[in-house]
Amino acid sequence: MAKKPPVYKNYIDGKWVASATGKTFPNVNPADTDDVIGYFQDSDERDVNAAVAAAKAAFEKWRLVPAPKRAELVMKLGLWLKENKEALARDATREMGKVLAETRGDVQEGIDCSLFWAGEGRRMYGETTPSELPNKFAMTVRQPIGVCALITPWNFPMAIPTWKMMPALVCGNTVVIKPATLTPLSVWNLVRGAEEVGFPKGVINYVTGSGRKVGNPLCEHPDVSLVSFTGSTEVGRQINLACAKDFKRVGLEMGGKNAVIVMDDADLELAVDGVLWGAFGTTGQRCTATSRCLVQRGVYKKFLDALVKRAKALKVGNGLDESTEMGPAVDASQLQTDLDYVAIGKKEGAKLLCGGKRLTGKKYDKGFFMEPTVFADVKPTMRIFREEIFGPVLSVVPFQTFEEAVALQNDCAYGLSGSIYTRDVNLAFRAMRDVHTGLFYVNAPTIGAENHLPFGGVKQTGNGHREGGKEALDLFSEWKAIYVDFSGTLQRAQIDTDRIVKVE
């Protein structure tokens, strides 16, 4: 008899509890829909209210814990992730589909993020600065904000939750995290680790459920001071509007339509490697995925021939098989979106060189598998050039001059990541300057961000805040300017400065 899938609970105020609705939803393996991983709480506003109340109460004590001590717990959690890396990676592959090598990297990013923020607990520097008045001291310090709502996506189910949670905690905030309904197990594992290493009750709270029943009330709750969201631009816009009426701080990391520029002088083998990995790693389900490839006409045909040959040879299958190179789409809806865009590209007149179909047969019928897909001769007016697909569909576009390539790269509503392959250092530096994105790579694909550098984009990719690196402090903490007057008299800034005795 098959083992019955477990039921996973919410974590509120240090306790694992069932939702107020009494309902659950299944978490299903996208490579094998017969594999039900578990059942998670189908929560609603009542559960959100309980979690926020717990976080608000815990904040009063947690904010007073010295930052280095808060950071020690974050370090312990990072080491717990390291101890359990393989099991956590297998859980992540099982629930979202990408291959084991990638989910191991996903967990490693969570480890690296935790250890980075453990160090930042001793480096949340403010400044001292001279006052314009005598016998007066001026400085700045960082302070926590309060209860932070963290809304995380399914494509990096361990890395992105740590990007948000670790700086929030080190800064002295408390959190309520809502994972994507497609990948609740990885965040459940993260919260279980936090419980095991000794985080105080109420500091971390975990509530599962839909965006409508959990995400919306979480964003609109009057006791939530900050919302950090990673997901689609459409949903991010709705969150921004919902938070605006209460002037909540909002961090948004949203869509991308990233392009690689391949110059005539590029190392073509390296460029093909990079574009293949950027376009089809994580089945194209990354905000930084290579969705557009701009190739100079001198190497256009040679590059395409090599790329298509390699794309056709990619092994697609269950990510738990170590030999698999590309896993499934995350669910039926995403697969259908990918197939719809293939139909759009064909209708618009783009040349389909390979892929474009759902994979069928005994190996594939229980999952959401699609062929790696390459379109050539794509024009900038086409929807497949302009719109985010979030799947294994690559558009290849020829260009004549460097200036044309930069114009094509920037002709986009998004501005997350960009890349150039060239041996010309002058062109590389011009591209670094002129491509309007938050991330840029030279002789590397559009994916591969490291967590000690700031991560985020421009235009409709985000709202200016950054995750990753010390720059995340500016999202998760408030500046306070402090003045200490030890003159023993009333000194009025900008008024009494003229009375100061001049040195002769």
- 477: closest CA among 157, 141, 112? 141
Burial of 467 (0-12, 13-18, 19+ CB in 10 A): buried
Give the largest Cα separation in the chain, rounded.
95
* Distance (Å, whole) CA 151 – CA 167: 15
Q: Could you give the angle at the alpha carbon of 171 between the alpha carbons of 480 and 86, nearest 5°?
A: 160
Cα-flanking dihedrals φ and ψ of residue 333, to 5°? -65, -45
Residue in the block written with tokens 């395409």: 304
The reply to whether 253 belongs to the active site is yes
Measured at the CA of 24, the angle between CA 236 and CA 209, to 5 degrees, comes to 10
Phi, psi of 11 (to 5 degrees): -120, 110
Task: Tell me if residue 139 falls in helix, strand or coil.
Answer: strand
- 3-state SS, residue 7: strand
Instruction: Give the β-pairing of 458-459 and 414-415.
Output: antiparallel
Catalytic residue check, 287? yes
- Residue bearing tokens 């086409």: 382
Inter-residue contact 45 to 217 (CB < 8 Å): yes
Whose tokens are 């783009």? That residue is 350
Angle made by CA atoms 465, 468, 469, in degrees to the nearest 5: 100
Of 157, 151, 217, 215, which Cα lies nearest the Cα of 182? 157
For residues 196 and 222, is the Cβ–Cβ distance under 8 A? no
Identify the CA nearest to 422 among candidates 292, 274, 258.
Answer: 274
Query: What are the residues facing 296 on neighbouring strands?
Result: 399
Length of the chain counted residue by residue: 504
Alpha helices in 381-482 (DSSP H): 383-386, 402-410, 425-434, 473-476
Residues 191, 206 contacting (CB under 8 angstroms): yes
Of 148, 243, 287, 412, the active-site residue reads 287
* Residue among 220, 253, 325, 371 flagged as catalytic: 253
Q: Which residues contact 409 (CB under 8 A, 6 or more apart)?
A: 259, 261, 292, 294, 418, 435, 437
Give the whole-angstrom CA distance, residue 366 versus residue 361.
9
DSSP one-letter string for 351-374: EEEE--SB--STTTTTS--B--EE
**157 closest CA partner among 121, 207, 105:** 105
Instruction: For residue 436, give both structure tokens.
Output: 């309007």
Backbone angles phi, psi at 152, to 5 degrees: -115, 155
Residues serving a catalytic function are 253, 287
